Amino acid sequence: MSPRRVYLNLGVFAKGYLRSRVGLFFALVFPVILILLFGAIFSNSSTTSVDVYVQNLDHNSPLSLQFLEALNSTKVVHLHFVSPSVGNLSKWLAANDQSDGLVIPAGFAAGYFNKTPVNLTVITNPQDATTSGIVYGAVDGVANYFNLQRANGTVILNVQQLSPPTLGGQSFQYIDYLVPGLIGFSVLTSPMFSMVNISSEYKKEKLFRQLSLTPLTKSEWLSSTIIWYIILTLVSTVIMVAVGQGAFGAKVTLSPLMLPFLVLGPILFTSLGLLAGSISKDPETAAVIGNIITFPMMFLSGTFFPVSLFPPWLVTVAHVLPLFYVIDGLNAAMLYGNVGTALFDMAVVGILALILFIASVRVFQWREN
Amino acid sequence: MQRTEALINLVEVIAIRKLVKDYGNLRAVDGIDLSIQKGEVYAFLGPNGAGKTTTVEILEGLRPRTSGEVEVLGLDPWKDNKKLIRQLGVIPQDFKFFDKITPKEAVAFYAGLFGKRADADAILKKVRLEDKASDRYETLSGGQKQKMGLALALVNEPAVLFLDEPTTGLDPQARRSIWEVIRSLRSEGRTVFLTTHYLEEAQLLADRVAIINHGKIVATGSPEDIIREHGRSEVLSLQAPPKLADYLRSKLDLPVRAEDHTVDVELNSNEDVLRVLTLVQQSGIPWTGVSTRQDTLEDVFIRLVGKTTESGDVGPTALGGSK
């Protein structure tokens, strides 16, 4: 592979893209419009509320009820009570298709008053960084408050998470989820729609054939195209974060953990777009295939609303969509600083990107067989 | 002719032996042989579906062959494609490029890809596109787009150029300017493999011609040789009623045809002209005009393949010029 030829093709591709106002609008302007629009609509709305199933093993002691009332007052969780007689709460949650729970242990009140450590167990779905962050953050916040009241900050109530995120402790507004969601939207739509269109149009107009008559190789062409979409994604991300923070005070941070998603995401979706365009007989079929792939992903991956708000069966659907792992990873990186979840999502996106890159290079025809 | 004779013993740059290309059950190219020498302008003619473009694309390395041997500049176009394309210039049929890119940017892009230091202005001037150097491809006319394709084909200073119908759909002026470029390429010693469905273009530009039909070569040689071998004798045409043809048939041993108030008599010698005109005078049958003509490449082509090249379009009338 020649870096010089990659650079030359990147220059021509970028010129073509920048001179086409439609492409530029959808890549940079449209996501900002969506942030402004959805941000304005939901900026005064309440925080997201997550269902949490509580098993109180402290025989409904006044202190435990006081603790749960405080937790309920955060309004970020909606508490449901489960009888101690059901046994292990984790198993009960799994059996009832629920993900988030809290166990108040026996001896909770006694331990608190005696200033002996008490472990509160929070159960969350490890693959859903959004919900994990909300539940853990809420319980941890109330526990800290109680610790402060009783022992001047010395830890008595210790929150343990069965699938613990590294940090949390904040309650999040809609705009906080919207910014990573729309960065994911941008990672998906710009490369996908463009590549589906480009690959089928280039095939129809025989532009791939034209390029094959030069020393440029198809891997070089695809690499330069991917680099362009990575650049576009990075620019678009900076703009969206600036607008989200500036206009609505979004609590998102530009973390280095985001970078792999902003690189691997465009590789994944550029390759997927090329693959969809390559297997299509004509641009019209390509557009249909592209829409079939893109639209469900756009709405079911947590772009506009956290996946935790979906019904369980839709959460399962979301988990098979590649964009879910991009957005979940961006949430983990930008909102929760949850390294474990980010690394898991990164691995999924990386493996998918590699598979699709290889598949697209193999399937798309530079010359004709 | 002088030029063709001068080519004898020059280096063979394109060699095709028993080339076959099948698409499923359809045999598109059926065992053709061709040999093209360095510096020739070689025209490849045939009706739609005859196998022209398939042959050209095999030579360019765009398609694999089913069987046979093909060499361009001593290289296998399919296996040695990346090495070969550095020495080839190609205008594909119906050349297209990126809409938002200008001819000057395109030439610079190609020069970079080929690792050449090209003077974009000089190349665009050569194809007479210097006035549109900074206009985007999407705004160019059909002729200007083809000129841009020609400019790109010249960027790497190729030894062999494949021009697949480079003048199709162009106005006479644009066509002539492309002819001039082809002539200048020949004068520089480059080999040009030209497919066209304008037969008079082939007759004007080509040193040698091959006519392909149903995947087989049906005639090959210089245009003059093909006309001599496959064409009819010189014809005397009279604008006269069919009964003159009946009269002449009764008096002459020469082939006489009548069609649409035209009577054609095939001549064997110059003396036949005088004999025919004397008989016409003696017949007393009125006539309005007389002319002589010889078969063109187009006449021969129609006779050999039984049809015109492109939906009845056999190209423009002769526009003059010389090889």
Q: Which helix (H) or strand (E) holds B251?
A: helix B242-251
Contacts of A9 in chain B (CB under 8 A): 109, 113
Same structural domain, B220 and B91: yes
Per DSSP, which regions of chain A are E strands? 50-56, 77-82, 101-104, 118-123, 157-161
Encode pLDDT of A88-115 as tens digits.
Answer: 888 888 788 778 899 999 998 888 888 8
- Selection from A191, A163, A176 nearest residue A305 by Cα: A176
Contact: B114, A214; criterion CB under 8 Å:
yes
The CA-CA-CA angle for residues B70, B71, B75, to 5°, reads 130
Contacts of B110 in chain A (CB under 8 A): 214
Contact: A8, B109; criterion CB under 8 Å:
yes
Same structural domain, B200 and B254: no
Contacts of A206 in chain B (CB under 8 A): 92, 94, 96
Of A6, A9, A12, A207, which to mutate for an interface test with B (greatest number of B Cβ within 10 Å)? Answer: A12
| Binding-site residues on chain B for chain A (CB distance < 8 A) | 57, 60-64, 81-82, 85-86, 88, 90, 92, 94-101, 105, 109-110, 112-115, 136
Same structural domain, B221 and B204: yes
> CATH number, domain at B264?
3.30.70.790
Encode pLDDT of B89-131 as tens digits.
Answer: 998 877 899 999 999 999 999 999 999 888 889 999 888 888 9
From the list A20, A209, A215, which residue is nearest B113 (CB)? A215
What is the interface pTM, i.e. ipTM, of the complex?
0.74
Contact: B57, A214; criterion CB under 8 Å:
no
Neighbours of B311 (CB within 10 A): 10
Q: Establish if B300 belongs to a structural domain.
A: no
Neighbours of A115 (CB within 10 A): 13
- CA distance to partner chain B, nearest, from residue A289 (Å): 24
- Selection from A26, A340, A76, A60 nearest residue A185 by Cα: A26
Q: Which residues of chain A have pLDDT under 70?
A: 42-48, 126-130, 151-155, 160-172, 368-369
Question: Read out DSSP for B163-183?
Answer: EESTTTT--HHHHHHHHHHHH
Contact: A4, B112; criterion CB under 8 Å:
yes
**Which pLDDT score, from 0 to 100, does residue B317 have?**
31
| Binding-site residues on chain A for chain B (CB distance < 8 A) | 4-5, 8-9, 11-12, 15-16, 19-20, 205-207, 209-210, 212-217, 367-369
Same structural domain, B216 and B288: no
**Which pLDDT score, from 0 to 100, does residue A126 have?**
66
Same structural domain, B216 and B237: no
> Looking at B207, B229, B251, which one is the last position of a domain?
B229
Token reading at B102: 């200008």
Of B87, B93, B98, B161, which to mutate for an interface test with A (greatest number of A Cβ within 10 Å)? Answer: B98
- What whole-number distance in Å separates Cα of residue A368 and Cα of residue A365? 6
Query: CB within 8 A of A14, min separation 6: which ones?
Result: A228, A231
Same structural domain, B131 and B142: yes
**Answer CATH for A50-161 from 3.40.50.2300, 3.40.1710.10, 3.40.50.970, 3.40.605.10:** 3.40.1710.10
Of A213, A219, A228, which to mutate for an interface test with B (greatest number of B Cβ within 10 Å)? Answer: A213
The SS3 of residue A74 is coil
- CA distance to partner chain A, nearest, from residue B56 (Å): 13
Same structural domain, B43 and B83: yes
Contacts of A217 in chain B (CB under 8 A): 82
Contact: A8, B86; criterion CB under 8 Å:
no
CATH 3.40.1710.10, chain A: domain bounds: 50-161
Neighbours of B255 (CB within 10 A): 14
**Which pLDDT score, from 0 to 100, does residue A70 have?**
87
Q: Establish if B319 belongs to a structural domain.
A: no
> CATH number, domain at B31?
3.40.50.300
- What whole-number distance in Å separates Cα of residue A172 and Cα of residue A46? 9
Same structural domain, B129 and B250: no
- Selection from B131, B169, B171, B168 nearest residue B151 by Cα: B131
From the list A12, A209, A369, which residue is nearest B98 (CB)? A12
């939207």: which residue's tokens? A185
Q: Establish if B248 belongs to a structural domain.
A: yes
Q: Which residues of chain B have pLDDT under 70?
A: 1-10, 307-323
- What whole-number distance in Å separates Cα of residue A70 and Cα of residue B300? 100
- Domain of B290 in residue numbering reads as 232-294
Same structural domain, B173 and B240: no
- What whole-number distance in Å separates Cα of residue B120 and Cα of residue B142? 20
**Which pLDDT score, from 0 to 100, does residue A272 have?**
92
**Which pLDDT score, from 0 to 100, does residue B314 have?**
38
Encode pLDDT of A274-333 as tens digits.
Answer: 888 888 877 888 888 888 888 888 888 888 877 777 777 888 888 899 999 999 899 888
Same structural domain, B159 and B241: no
> Looking at B203, B229, B255, which one is the last position of a domain?
B229
Q: Establish if B301 belongs to a structural domain.
A: no
CA distances A174 to A40, A42, A136, A257, Å, are 11, 7, 18, 22
Same structural domain, B45 and B121: yes
Contacts of A213 in chain B (CB under 8 A): 60, 62, 85, 88, 90, 92
Q: Establish if B157 belongs to a structural domain.
A: yes
Q: Establish if B140 belongs to a structural domain.
A: yes
Q: Establish if B109 belongs to a structural domain.
A: yes
Total domains present in chain B: 2
Same structural domain, B113 and B202: yes
Backbone angles phi, psi at A206, to 5 degrees: 60, 35
Q: Establish if B323 belongs to a structural domain.
A: no
